[in-house]
Structures are given as C-alpha cells and as structure tokens.
Amino acid sequence: MSSVKSSSGVEAGLTALAVSLRGVTKAYDNGVMALGPFDLAVRKGEFISLLGPSGCGKSTALRLIAELSAPSSGIVRVARHEGDVLPGHGIGFVFQEPTLMPWTSVRENVRLPLRLAGVPKAEARARADEALASVGLADFADAFPRELSGGMKMRVSLARALVTDPDILLMDEPFAALDEITRFRLNNDLLALWRALGKTVIFVTHSVFESVYLSQRVVVMTARPGRIQADIRIETVEPRGEEFRTSAAYSNYCRKVSAALAPSYSGQSML
C-alpha cells in the first residue's frame, strides 16, 4: 500500500527531517519499475544531490516528494508548517527547462504562483520583485523572456520557485543545458542563496563534478529501478569556492563518487 503523508515537524523522529522516503517504489502503467525500493532521509537545511544514469528514477523521486505523482508502495513524508494543507505547499520546483511564459514580463512569470494562490496583486508584485532581487535580476523585472540569456532565464525560474518562500527546493538538472562558465557562476549563486535562506535543497544532476561541488551529501543511484548505491558525505570548509574546486580534497571526492557510480554504467568511465 502506498502513502504520501505530511508532518508538521512535531511527530517523534521527524523533528529534524525535511523529507523521508521509506521502502518507496514506483511502477508505471506499462509495467516498467522506475524506482525502488528506495529509502532516503534529508535533514532540514541540508543540500543533497541525486546522481545517477539516465532513467534511474532521479526525477521520479522528485515528483514523488512534490506530490506530482504517487508511489506504488512505501511511504513519502514531507515536513510542513501547520498552515500548508494543499499538496505541494512548502515546496519549490525548478525544472530542467525554464518553462517561462513568453508573452508576459519576467515579473509576471515570477508572480504566477502567487496569483494562482490568490495573493493580493500589490503584495504579489512586491514579493516577485524581492525574489528577482535575490537572484540578481532586479533590473530585468519588466523584460520579456526572449530578451534574456539562458542563464538569466534559469534565474527567473529559480526566482519563481522561491517566491512562495518554500522550505524545500527541488531542482531537476536546472543547469544541464548551460555553458560551463555560466553553470559555474550559477552553482556559486545557488550556494550563496542556500546559505542565506537555509532551504532544504534536493538537486538532480548527471555531473559528478557539480554534485561534489554543491552538496553536503551525494546520493549515488543504481540503474533502473533506482536504488541507493552509495551515500557520500562531502566534508569541506564553507563557504565553497575556487579554492575547493582546485583542491586535492575535491579531486578525491570526485574519484570516490565516480567509483560508486561506475557499476551503473557497466564499467564506463565517468572521469
């Protein structure tokens, strides 16, 4: 029997957890088993990455946490505030594509979740402007998506996810299509936001290097059906920057994560 449950954070054993998946599986109508059994616990304020081959269930896991899909079996628990009664409340989702509405302004794209929630227009506008400022786009509120670079569009998508002030931020390969320089800059900006806002972040990536640079934990998944192959803690001095990226410790962690990932690729080298 499957279950998706909410918790206010006062239930015994869940006070420090933002997300918990226990014995979770997901099978699709065509019989394909996409995930599981899958067990994961994420503490409040933690930054973790899910790393694994294509089709291993990384995005499926995010959809289960966001209540966009129901598990076939197992239990998904998401800690919430008492007032968060609707599915998905308390969660921000950043997809691989920015999915912006091209016919309206950047501000209106960011304001959309608040408008759908019935937030008064003046308050929603102020909160949208605040979210844009937090990602460095205060001067582009009146611009249209077509006027923005790929990196700027992804910043708008991030601002839209943050505008509701979620406790949990789910990010599904948000920087995969960007050039390396832009990706590195957005990695640093994301880390700065995480430190400033204290969100719980679950980040999906195919990049060993990105996962090690960003995360406190790298959760390596097997090929489909996705299970946890390894859960590797990244211990380094904060805040992270170029010094960590060029350090021996970073290289060693990349080798360790790559070695854990290798069985999922049938011996194909990741480095």
The pLDDT tens digits of the residues spanning 169-227 come to: 999 999 999 999 999 999 999 999 999 999 999 999 999 999 999 999 999 999 999 99
Evaluate if residue 8 carries a pLDDT over 50.
no
pLDDT tens digits along 101-127: 999 999 999 999 999 999 999 999 999
What pLDDT digit, counting tens, does each position of 229-249 carry? 999 999 998 888 889 999 999
Q: Where are any strands of DSSP class E within the chain?
A: 2-7, 17-27, 33-43, 47-51, 73-79, 91-94, 168-172, 200-205, 217-221, 228-233
For residue 266, what pLDDT band results from cuts at 50, 70 and 90? low
Question: Hey, what are 156's tokens?
Answer: 């708008």
pLDDT band of residue 82 (cuts 50, 70, 90) is low
Task: Inform me whether the pLDDT recorded for 12 exceeds 80.
Answer: no
Give 111: exposed, middle or buried? Use CB within 10 Å, 0-12, 13-18, 19+.
buried
Domains of the chain: 2-90+168-265 (3.40.50.300), 98-165 (no CATH)
Segment 66-71 mean pLDDT? 94
- Greater model confidence, 16 or 146: 146
pTM listed for this prediction: 0.90
- Any residues with CB less than 8 A from the CB of 120 and at least 6 apart, and which? none
Q: Cα-flanking dihedrals φ and ψ of residue 163, to 5°?
A: -65, -25
pLDDT at 84 over 60: no
pLDDT digits (tens, 9 = 90+) for 129-153: 999 999 999 999 999 999 999 999 9
* pLDDT averaged over every residue in the chain: 90
Q: How confident is the model at residue 16 (pLDDT cuts 50, 70, 90)?
A: confident
Q: Return the pLDDT at 11.
A: 39
The pLDDT of residue 52 is 96
88 confidence band (pLDDT: 50, 70, 90)? low
* Nearest C-alpha neighbor of 186 from the set 232, 230, 211, 152: 152
Give the per-residue pLDDT at 31: 87
Predicted local distance difference test score (pLDDT) of residue 10: 33
